[in-house]
Amino acid sequence: MERRNAKRNQIQVELEIAHPGARRCGGYAEDISRSGVSVTLRDGELPAQQRSVILNFKVWTGSETLYRKIYARVVRSEPERVALEFAEHDFIAEAIIQDLMYYQNCERRSGTRAPLKSGGAITGAVPVEQTV
């Protein structure tokens, strides 16, 4: 049974998860909506009792990296995957999602991606205008 209240968009954006009293973890967002995000962890894990975190999205624009921060609540947590609900359902969360989706759409049109630390790729590369 589908429990999501908002449509999810496929995305792959590198991020860091900060949580008080513990080491930061790293990973990437796989899908995102106005109300939450699914994260695959590749560096570290959340403590079992962790209920709130700060997400720091790293968005490569093609010329620089933008950092977007948003607070979230842990909905489900597994060793390598975390489901999070944004704590802010206001224009700030909406603006961050729009930024992420904009840079992903630019990347799809250009066919390029910025490298991930693990050798994969992240979303957010903006095509450089080329003259032929």
CATH of the domain at 47: 2.40.10.220
Residue 40 counted as domain residue: yes
Amino acid identity of residue 87, one-letter, is: A
Choice among 3-7, 29-33, 102-106, 110-114 with the minimum mean pLDDT? 110-114
pTM over 0.75: no
Euclidean distance between CA atoms 123 and 12, whole angstroms: 5
Residue 130 counted as domain residue: no
Domain containing residue 108 = 9-122
Residue 1 binned pLDDT confidence (cut-offs 50, 70, 90) = very low
pLDDT for residue 62: 78
Number of domains the chain contains:
1
Structure tokens at 76: 């489900």
Residue 1 counted as domain residue: no
Residue 3 counted as domain residue: no
Residue 24 counted as domain residue: yes
- Average model confidence (pLDDT) across the chain: 76
